[in-house]
């Protein structure tokens, strides 16, 4: 019977620590934000029974007021200043409400669909001395008129039944007032699932309001820019590079694109007015599309099993499609809104649970970056739970908890993919360099094979002709024509001499590399100068000799063969002196050498050159150096390293430069 492997306590601890760290850190951050960046928990003066009293001291001390509570609410009534005769409240049903606590204009019937009309009013008791004030109205669903002291100062859409037009945007108005000032907001809604004022307005001194609004817009645009850059970078990597991570990068691109849609709301509502139904569809697609593509991406990173992967993908894909269809409904009953809310909560909890399950499995298998993945997943899950536990959260400057959680998760997944991509790209460059080196070796072996084949053919030909030459010589000898015999022998010796093989270096490996590039230079009409005095045996591995001479001579040849060189040449000198290896290679060049951070950039591909780094590594492995210089159109490479005596089998011959 197969025993079930025991999980080591150390591995359990390594899995628990990222969870505890993420939970602790994010709890501190979210708890601080909930109390410090929340209009509902902001400690400031609020209206009571529709009246907000502000004196000079309060204005100078607080400067900003978030009008969350104390609004007089008139359901079913689209009021105007004429309805408030001599400052009296009109004869209609009224209730004091807190903004965002109800989603239906009709507070008495929770079953009726959203839509209809209502009015909000508030009386401001300001200092008698007139001064400027600013009122910021967030998105109000979905058409309204704002009156200040009986004057219409702002209109979004057309709230009246005749010619009703929807439009939502974030707008601000600045007005001069003193003493008792009346605010009246007449609102109508026909298509959004929430009626009227959902987000609290901001009121205060213009300078303070302008400052807080600019900071809020800057932070929102900063998150949007991050999302756009993440989307653009992932798209660039998909297009520019091909590799095993292409599918993962494509999923990351779609996840970033969905987050970009959700992060667009500060810019959209600040600079444009749009249809609420269109934006709501885009918003729901952005939120649940992000969940879908993040789950699909984590399925690629971790191995959760085929069935869980299919179920998780299907659940989120179906719900994303249904949420978009739900947003396009012509009207919403309260039961529909509640049902969708419960379904959305269930899907969010399912997403958190599944992502956490995948991250824990990956961590238990001790895979690369599993701790980072677990940390980010825990942070995301905690942000979703915190959003459910604290629904009364309206940010002053930043975003909602889930926005922070998504940001952490996307950053973590991006870091994991970037490391994976970088490793893959590094291996791709190494493979390309190895392929190039092997191609060069094959070319040198082919050249050697052709030379050997020529020698064999010469030998066969000489042996074939030898019998005929002997017969001819014997015939001339019998005729005693000694002058003719001497002339024939002279011609025979000259024509039968084998072609001489030029040896450029006594070391076989180095000689083959030198002769290969000598042949290439001759074909390109490049002057090749060679003075290499190395012994047949060296304490340096033959592979490293091939890398050193092959890479440097290849670079020299490629640079010299470029068009524009008046006198193209390649020069190679190498000696051993006093136990030290010296190599000097020079070549002409016309193409400017590109460097970055002290390293050479490749002319064959994007990134750093692999050949020069390989040669430098060989020299540094023996405690030496590899120096690259440019001198008046001549590129010079100097290599020097010590050959230790205990590395040398026998006495090393010393030759002078």
Q: What are phi and psi of 130, to 5 degrees?
A: -70, 140
Query: How far is 110 from 94, CA to CA, in rounded Å?
Result: 17
CA angle 246-250-251, nearest 5°? 120
What is the structure's pLDDT at 547? 82
Three-class secondary structure assignment of 329-380: CCCCEHHHHHHHHHHHHHHHHHHHHHHHHHHHHHHHCCCCCHHHHHHHHHHH
Tell me which H or E stretch contains 450: helix 401-478
Confidence band of 643 (pLDDT split at 50, 70, 90) = confident
Interacting residues of 440 by C-beta distance below 8 A, sequence separation 6+? 516, 550, 554
Tokens of 132: 């400027």
- Where is pLDDT greater, at 96 or 365? 96
Tens of pLDDT, residue by residue over 98-147, are 998 776 676 555 556 667 889 999 999 999 999 999 999 998 988 999 99
Read off the DSSP letter of residue 654. -
What is the mean pLDDT of the segment spanning 578-587?
91
CATH class of the region 51-204 = mainly beta
Among 1.10.1740, 1.20.58, 1.20.1070, 1.10.3470, name the CATH number for the domain at 9-36+212-423: 1.20.1070
CA angle 399-400-404, nearest 5°? 75
Confidence band of 172 (pLDDT split at 50, 70, 90) = very high
In our burial notation (b when 16+ CB lie closer than 10 A, e otherwise), range 413-438 reads: bbebbbebbeeebeebbeeebeebbe
Read off the DSSP letter of residue 49. T
Q: Residue 489 above 90 pLDDT? A: no
The 10 Å Cβ neighbour count of residue 481 is: 13
Q: Tokens 């960046």, residue?
A: 37
Tokens of 355: 């992502």
What is the mean pLDDT of the segment spanning 188-202?
84
457 to 155, 453, 460, 498: CA distances (angstroms): 99, 6, 5, 11
Tell me which H or E stretch contains 149: none
Query: How far is 414 from 430, CA to CA, in rounded Å?
Result: 24
Please give the model's pTM, rounded to 2 decimal places: 0.68
- Where is pLDDT greater, at 429 or 75? 75
Tokens of 95: 């209730």
Q: Residue 436 above 50 pLDDT? A: yes
Closest listed residue to residue 383, CA positions, set 421, 364, 359, 355: 355
Q: Is 488 exposed, middle or buried (0-12, 13-18, 19+ CB in 10 A)?
A: middle
Q: Which long-range contacts (CB under 8 A, 24 or more apart) does 65-68 make?
A: 65/202, 65/203, 65/204, 66/39, 66/42, 66/200, 66/201, 66/202, 66/396, 67/99, 67/122, 67/200, 67/201, 67/202, 67/203, 68/39, 68/40, 68/98, 68/99, 68/100, 68/200, 68/394
The CATH 1.20.1070 portion of the chain extends over 9-36+212-423
Closest listed residue to residue 98, CA positions, set 171, 158, 41: 41
What is the structure's pLDDT at 11? 62
- Where is pLDDT greater, at 8 or 376? 376
What is the structure's pLDDT at 497? 54
153-162, 182-191, 300-309, 500-509 — which is least confidently predicted?
500-509
Q: Residue 645 above 70 pLDDT? A: no
What is the structure's pLDDT at 654? 40
In our burial notation (b when 16+ CB lie closer than 10 A, e otherwise), range 273-294 reads: eebbbebbbbbbbbbbbbbbbb
In the three-class reduction of DSSP (H, G, I as helix; E, B as strand; rest coil), residue 598 is classed as: coil
Interacting residues of 516 by C-beta distance below 8 A, sequence separation 6+? 440, 443, 444, 447
* CATH fold group of domain 508-647: Heat Shock Protein 90 (3.30.565)
Q: Residue 578 above 70 pLDDT? A: yes
Confidence band of 70 (pLDDT split at 50, 70, 90) = very high
Mean pLDDT of the chain: 81
Query: How far is 283 from 141, CA to CA, in rounded Å?
Result: 15
Tens of pLDDT, residue by residue over 358-380, are 888 887 776 777 788 888 888 88
Query: How far is 377 from 369, CA to CA, in rounded Å?
Result: 12
Read off the DSSP letter of residue 199. S
* Percent of the chain clearing pLDDT 70 (strictly above): 80
Distance of CA 383 to the CA centre of its chain: 23
In our burial notation (b when 16+ CB lie closer than 10 A, e otherwise), range 234-255 reads: bbebbeeeeeebeebbbbbbbb
Tokens of 261: 């849609």
426-430, 558-562, 585-589 — which is least confidently predicted?
426-430
Q: Residue 350 above 90 pLDDT? A: yes
Q: Residue 444 above 70 pLDDT? A: no
What is the mean pLDDT of the segment spanning 629-656?
66
Tens of pLDDT, residue by residue over 553-563, are 988 998 888 86
User: Cis bond leading into 235, ω under 30°?
Assistant: no
543 to 8, 353, 437, 491: CA distances (angstroms): 44, 53, 10, 46
Query: How far is 511 from 534, CA to CA, in rounded Å?
Result: 10
Interacting residues of 173 by C-beta distance below 8 A, sequence separation 6+? 134, 135, 137, 146, 148, 153, 154
Task: Tell me the DSSP string of 496-544.
Answer: HPPPPPPPS-SSHHHHHHHHHHHHHHHHTT-EEEEEE---S--SS-HHH
What is the structure's pLDDT at 565? 75
The 10 Å Cβ neighbour count of residue 40 is: 18
The CATH 2.60.120.260 portion of the chain extends over 51-204
What is the mean pLDDT of the segment spanning 521-544?
88
What is the mean pLDDT of the segment spanning 269-278?
79
What is the mean pLDDT of the segment spanning 512-538?
89
- Where is pLDDT greater, at 231 or 280? 231
What is the structure's pLDDT at 112? 60
Q: Is 456 exposed, middle or buried (0-12, 13-18, 19+ CB in 10 A)?
A: exposed
Interacting residues of 333 by C-beta distance below 8 A, sequence separation 6+? 111, 112, 113, 114
Interacting residues of 382 by C-beta distance below 8 A, sequence separation 6+? 22, 23, 26, 27, 30, 405
Tens of pLDDT, residue by residue over 448-467, are 656 666 666 666 666 656 66
CB 262 within 8 A of CB 289: no
Query: How far is 145 from 157, CA to CA, in rounded Å?
Result: 8
Read off the DSSP letter of residue 163. T
């Amino acid at each position: 019977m197969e025993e079930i492997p025991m999980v080591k306590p150390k591995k359990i601890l390594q899995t628990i620590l990222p969870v505890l760290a993420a939970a602790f850190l994010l709890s501190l951050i979210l708890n601080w934000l909930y109390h410090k960046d929340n209009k509902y928990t902001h400690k400031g003066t609020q209206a009571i029974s529709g009246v907000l009293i502000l004196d000079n001291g309060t204005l100078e001390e607080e400067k900003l007021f978030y009008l969350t509570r104390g609004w007089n609410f008139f359901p079913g009534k689209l009021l105007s200043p004429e309805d408030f005769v001599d400052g009296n409240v009109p004869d209609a049903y009224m209730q004091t409400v807190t903004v965002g606590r109800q989603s239906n204009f009709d507070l008495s019937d929770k079953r009726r669909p959203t839509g209809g009309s209502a009015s909000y009013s508030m009386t401001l008791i300001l200092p008698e001395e007139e001064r400027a004030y600013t009122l910021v109205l967030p998105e109000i669903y979905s058409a309204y008129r704002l009156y200040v002291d009986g004057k219409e100062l702002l209109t979004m859409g057309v709230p009246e039944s005749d010619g009703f037009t929807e439009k939502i945007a974030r707008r601000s108005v600045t007005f001069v007032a003193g003493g008792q000032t009346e605010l009246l907001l007449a609102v109508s809604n026909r298509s959004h699932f929430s009626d009227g004022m959902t987000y609290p307005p901001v009121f205060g001194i213009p300078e303070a309001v302008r400052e807080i609004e600019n900071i809020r817009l800057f932070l929102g645009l900063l998150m949007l820019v991050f999302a756009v850059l993440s989307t653009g970078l992932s798209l660039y990597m998909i297009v520019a590079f091909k590799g095993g991570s292409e599918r993962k990068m494509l999923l990351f691109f779609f996840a970033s694109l969905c987050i970009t849609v959700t992060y667009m709301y500060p810019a959209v509502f600040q600079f444009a007015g749009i249809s609420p139904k269109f934006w709501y569809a885009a918003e729901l697609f952005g939120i649940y599309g992000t969940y879908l593509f993040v789950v699909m991406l984590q399925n690629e990173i971790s191995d959760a099993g085929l069935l869980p992967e299919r179920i998780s993908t299907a659940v989120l894909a179906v719900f994303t499609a249904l949420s978009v269809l739900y947003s396009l409904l012509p009207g919403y009953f309260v039961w529909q809104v509640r049902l969708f809310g419960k379904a959305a909560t269930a899907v969010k909890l399912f997403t958190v649970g599944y992502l956490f399950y995948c991250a824990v499995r990956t961590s238990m298998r001790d895979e690369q970056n599993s701790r980072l993945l677990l940390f980010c997943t825990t942070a995301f899950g905690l942000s979703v739970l915190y959003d459910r536990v604290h629904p009364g959260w309206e940010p002053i400057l930043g975003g909602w908890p889930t926005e922070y959680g998504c940001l952490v998760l996307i950053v973590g997944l991006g870091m994991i993919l970037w490391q994976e991509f970088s490793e893959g790209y590094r291996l791709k460059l190494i493979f390309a360099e190895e392929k190039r080196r092997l191609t060069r070796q094959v070319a040198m072996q082919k050249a050697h094979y052709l030379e050997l084949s020529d020698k064999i053919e010469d030998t066969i030909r000489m042996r074939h002709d030898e019998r005929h030459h002997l017969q001819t010589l014997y015939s001339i000898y019998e005729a005693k024509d000694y002058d003719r015999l001497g002339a024939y022998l002279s011609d025979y010796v000259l024509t039968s001499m084998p072609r001489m093989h030029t040896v450029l270096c006594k070391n076989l490996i180095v000689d083959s590399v030198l002769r290969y590039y000598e042949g290439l230079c001759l074909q390109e009409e490049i002057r090749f100068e060679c003075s290499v005095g190395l012994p047949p045996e060296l304490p340096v591995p033959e592979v490293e000799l091939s890398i050193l001479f092959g890479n440097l001579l290849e670079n020299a040849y490629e640079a010299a063969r470029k068009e524009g060189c008046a006198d193209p040449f390649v020069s190679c000198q190498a000696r051993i002196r006093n136990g030290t290896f010296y190599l000097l290679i020079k070549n002409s060049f016309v193409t400017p050498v590109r460097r970055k951070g002290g390293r050479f950039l490749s002319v064959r591909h994007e990134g750093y050159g692999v050949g020069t780094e390989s040669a430098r590594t060989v020299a540094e492995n023996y405690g030496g150096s590899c120096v690259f210089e440019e001198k008046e159109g001549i590129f010079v490479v100097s290599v020097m390293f010590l050959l230790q005596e205990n590395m040398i089998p026998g006495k090393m011959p010393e030759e002078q430069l």
